[in-house]
Amino acid sequence: MSGSGTGTIVSVTALVSWALTDLDTVKEFLGITVDTYNDLLSRLINSASAFMEQTTSRKLKARDYDYSLAADKFETWYDGDNSKKLFLRQWPLNSVTSPILISGASVAVAGSTDYYASTGFVSYNLRGELYYANGFDAGKLNVRVSYNAGYATTSPGYLELQMVCNELVGLVYGEKNKLSFKSEKIGNYSYTIRDAVEVSKRGITDAVTILQKYRRQLSG
């Protein structure tokens, strides 16, 4: 709950756990010192964060993925193909719960960072890769990995993503009058970042250009 500056108490939308910025940072970025638009800004932060994840086809902010949870199955269950390499769906990799499971067998992290280690798996965190010299057995959803991946709030990657998120929120906020978005009626609107495309295509294009480097790029 937050005061609007007029004595009115308004309900403020909660930020999603994976939001790529926060209310205080956005308000500082936009030079806003009153609480009047807190709910609007919070909803725009959520929308901008969703837009960024949709554009990059990945989850960006650091979070845990647990193969024992049904909700995390897509991120943690993989088809083995006898390859020695496995690229996790989310990256950068921050940590792996050891052991991982391959066809029901536990495989611990290797005791050495030797690329050819056969006693366990080796992780290459920046690209979200696991390497196991004995190979990931061929099978359907037979490789299971619990891990933490994404950009920690102190990382350079997160700071750049936060700036993009701030700019997207500012883009829409700045165009709200052109789009007939009346502040006194914000509770009646469902407003998304995509609504700003027609009035500010250049701003959206610039953001998308930056986000392209956060998509998976594999070579070799």
* Mean pLDDT by groups of 10 residues along the chain of 220 residues: 48 94 97 94 93 94 97 97 96 94 95 70 94 95 98 96 94 71 42 52 80 77
Residue spans of the domains in the chain: they are 2-59+152-214, 63-149
Model pLDDT, residue 136: 97
Q: Which residues contact 30 (CB under 8 A, 6 or more apart)?
A: 41, 166, 169, 170, 173
Closest by CA to 151, choosing from 2, 21, 3, is: 21
Structure pTM?
0.82
Model pLDDT, residue 142: 98
In whole angstroms, what is the distance from residue 212 CA to residue 215 CA? 6
- Strand-pair category, 2-3 with 122-124: unpaired
Model pLDDT, residue 174: 82
Residue 91 Rama label (left phi>0; alpha psi -120 to 50; beta) = beta
In whole angstroms, what is the distance from residue 133 CA to residue 156 CA? 32
